[in-house]
Structure formats: C-alpha cells, structure tokens
Amino acid sequence: MHLLNADLHCHSNVSDGTLTPEALAERARAGGVELWALTDHDEIGGQQRAREAALAQGMQYLTGTEISVTFAHVTVHIVGLGFDPDNEALVAGLAATRNGRLARAQEMAEGLAKVGIPGAFEGALRYVGNPELISRTHFARYLVETGVCAHTHEVFHRYLTEGKPGYVPHRWAALRDAVGWITGAGGVAVIAHPARYKFTPNEEWALFTDFIGHGGQAVEVVTGSHSTPEQVRYADTAIEFKLAASRGSDFHSPGESRVDLGTLPDLPGRLTPVWELLADRLHTPA
C-alpha cells in the first residue's frame, strides 16, 4: 500500500530556517512530498504563503507551527497541525511565547562577550528573517561565519547549551496552554522529536500523560531527529498511549540539515497517521 509522503515539520526564514516558504514548497515537491506543513517556531506568519505555494506545487497542505514549552525545567516542542490560523487565542498565545526572545538574545550576547566574543547580538540579527524570532540558530550561524566554530552543532555544544557561556535559561509556554491553543483552534497537538529530551522514564511518562490529559493526540515517530531504534521505540510509545503518529524532516537549511524534505522512511504500518485525524482540515489543490 502506498502511504502518503507527508512532511509535517520544517522551518522557513520566518523562524530559524534559511529558505523562504516558497522555496521550501518547491524543495518539498522536488523531494516527493504530497502533504506538507510549514511549522515555524512560535510563529504562523508564513502560513498563508506556504499554503498558497503548496497548492501551486500540487501538494496538499496543513497549517502548522512548533511551540516552545517548558516542562519539568526542560524545553519541549509541541507541533500544532490543522488549526485555524485566525484563532485569536492561538495568535495571542504565540505572540506571548515569542515575547522575551529579544531580551534573551541580548543576555546571550553578554555571556558570549564575557568569553571574548563581542558583537554577537548584532551579528546574529543579520541572519534573522523575522525580528520577533531571534533564536539560538541565528547565533550559531554568526559564530560559524566568523570562524569561531566549524559548524553549527559545534556552536551549540561549546556555547549555546545548558551551562555554556551563551546559554540563558528561559521560561517558555506551559504545556497545558500550548496544547490548549492548538486544540482550541481546531488543530491536533503533537509531541515533537521525543527522543531529544533525555527525560528519565518517569519524567517521560509524566510528559505523555499530562499531554494527553490536556487534549494532545499525536507524537512524532519518524523525524530527522530520531535514529532508527528511536523510531521503533516511539512507535511502541504511540501504541502504548493510543496516540496518532507524525512524520517530518525538521528541515532548516540545505547546508545544515542532515535530512531533506520528503526523504524519511514511511511511518510503520501499525500506526495511525496523524493526517487521518485531520481529513477535514486538509487544503487540497483545485
């Protein structure tokens, strides 16, 4: 049976990707994607462009975003799919979540200046496509360009993760709020790349249980952030918690991303694809 080639997680220059929504749509189509969602961090400003470009390329489209959440002192990402992008509570919630990124970035730059890297705030800003969405990724690109590090992963490892000089702890949205904004706008909430969080089994159980309690319905199983064993593990988790499953590359940039749009393996056949919950929210080419 042919499973739809769905890529329901990626980033444009409206957040921390480097391509425009239109260029991403083209790349998705070239990669064989049949159902696409653009999921910029804490931001839906690119949705209309992405939807129009998707339909022009002959792809089906679902609205998308990836909300930054703080759960048990850890940053967790919740993808939202198929919501109404004009929903007021969602729009306000995302704006509140973006708020604070600028002050955080200034603090990050102060930390970097202290270890002999001046001007990182202005430097990072040069890479920002959306002034409300300055992220660690933009700092990473600046530090690579200036030769401080060889690649962005090295920047994160040496400077931008917990305990490192450019790391600033930040309080993102509450899990209950993020899931509520998505479901309140008619969408489905998805736990993004669960293997990335390094939770203990108890903490992970709490995340999934609370998420479901708040109305969450799906988990990413096949993602650019998961190894093959992790895909198997979270396929089991999806079954255990009766969650639908999502698939997405988490593509950010041609030079940086290991996995390209549309190229991941199919979801295991025993899972319910998340788009089956969203049949009435699909935008379909004329």
| Residue ranges in contact with ligand AMP by CB under 6 A | 16, 41, 68, 135-137, 152-153, 156, 252
- With CB under 5 to 8 Å by kind, the binding choice for 68 among ligand AMP, Mn ion, none is ligand AMP
- With CB under 5 to 8 Å by kind, the binding choice for 156 among Mn ion, ligand AMP, none is ligand AMP
67, 65, 97: which is closest to 82 by C-alpha? 65
- Shortest gap between Cβ of 74 and Mn ion (angstroms)? 12
- Shortest gap between Cβ of 130 and Mn ion (angstroms)? 13
Q: Is 220 one of the binding residues for Mn ion (CB under 5 A)? A: no
Give ∠ CA 245-205-193 in degrees, rounded to 5: 40
CB of 207 closer than 8 Å to CB of 237: no
- With CB under 5 to 8 Å by kind, the binding choice for 136 among Mn ion, ligand AMP, none is ligand AMP
237, 226, 233: which is closest to 265 by C-alpha? 226
Instruction: Pick the closer one to Mn ion by CB: 51 or 141.
Output: 141
Residue 88 main-chain phi, psi, to 5 deg: -65, -40
Q: Is 226 one of the binding residues for Mn ion (CB under 5 A)? A: no
Residue 114 main-chain phi, psi, to 5 deg: -65, -25
User: What count of other Cβ atoms lies within 10 Å of the Cβ of residue 131?
Assistant: 10
- Shortest gap between Cβ of 89 and ligand AMP (angstroms)? 22
Instruction: Pick the closer one to ligand AMP by CB: 5 or 15.
Output: 15
11, 46, 51, 14: which is closest to 281 by C-alpha? 51
Name the one residue in this structure whose structure tokens are 């979540």: 97
Name the one residue in this structure whose structure tokens are 């089906």: 60
**Extended beta strands in 183-248, E state:** 188-191, 218-223, 244-248
- Shortest gap between Cβ of 16 and ligand AMP (angstroms)? 5
Instruction: Pick the closer one to Mn ion by CB: 149 or 239.
Output: 149
CB of 267 closer than 8 Å to CB of 249: no
CB of 207 closer than 8 Å to CB of 71: yes
Instruction: Pick the closer one to ligand AMP by CB: 28 or 108.
Output: 108
Cα distances from 233 to residues 5, 7, 211, 239, in angstroms, run 22, 20, 18, 10
Instruction: Pick the closer one to ligand AMP by CB: 59 or 189.
Output: 189
- Shortest gap between Cβ of 44 and Mn ion (angstroms)? 14
| Interface positions, 70-99, toward Mn ion (CB under 5 A) | 77
- Shortest gap between Cβ of 137 and Mn ion (angstroms)? 5
Instruction: Pick the closer one to ligand AMP by CB: 248 or 273.
Output: 248
Q: Which stretch binds Mn ion (CB under 5 A): 91-99, 191-199, 211-219, 270-278?
A: 191-199
- Shortest gap between Cβ of 138 and Mn ion (angstroms)? 10
Helix (H, G, I), strand (E, B) or coil at 168: coil
- For Mn ion, what does the binding mask look like between residues 145 and 184, x meaning CB under 5 A? ----------------------------------------
- Alpha carbons within 13 angstroms on the beta-carbon side of residue 235 total 18
The residues of the shown chain that bind Mn ion, judged by CB under 5 A, are 16, 66, 77, 192, 250
